Amino acid sequence: MNLDDMYRETILDHNQMPRNKGTLARPTHTVGLLNPTCGDSIRIDVLIEDGKVADIRFDGQGCAISMASASMLTQAVKGRTVDEALNLARDFKQFLLGQDPNRDLGELAALEGVSHFPSRVKCATLAHNALQKALSEGGGEPPR
């Protein structure tokens, strides 16, 4: 299996069996974002306790890239501190813009191919933008 196939498998796997899909009963932070270019819509619920991401869920609908990216992101930031989660979101966005993240992005690296398609970068970064917005602004009522 070459790297491309492995990456494709990872994206398909997260798309078919999304991790942390759903909503939280009592999120401390929640944000909904739309990507009108593709029609993706994502809501992120986060529960911050003691400065850490104690729990996180995403909900919504969209293309395989947006859903797989959200699934991988929730998995990657669970248990991390707020700063670590924000740094990961920032590094991933830089990575998709072709910059070297200087760190291991874990499964999120499977989305590398997206960087060759600027129109799809918005799909892959939608959940990351929602997380950044939620953690920096605290959210508010998400769109239903």
Q: What is the binding site for Zn ion (CB under 5 A)? A: 38, 40, 62-63, 66, 123
Q: Do 20 and 45 form a contact (C-beta atoms < 8 A)?
A: no
CB of 35 to Zn ion, least distance (A): 6
How many Å separate Cα 46 from the centre of its chain?
12
Q: Do 128 and 93 form a contact (C-beta atoms < 8 A)?
A: yes
CB of 142 to Zn ion, least distance (A): 19
CB of 136 to Zn ion, least distance (A): 23
Q: Is 34 exposed, middle or buried (0-12, 13-18, 19+ CB in 10 A)?
A: middle
- Give the residue with the Cβ less far from Zn ion, 40 or 91: 40
- Give the residue with the Cβ less far from Zn ion, 77 or 114: 114
CB of 68 to Zn ion, least distance (A): 10
Give one word for 79, left, alpha or beta, with left for phi > 0 and alpha for psi -120 to 50: left
Q: What 3-state class would DSSP assign to 141? A: coil
- Give the residue with the Cβ less far from Zn ion, 8 or 52: 8
- Give the residue with the Cβ less far from Zn ion, 13 or 84: 13
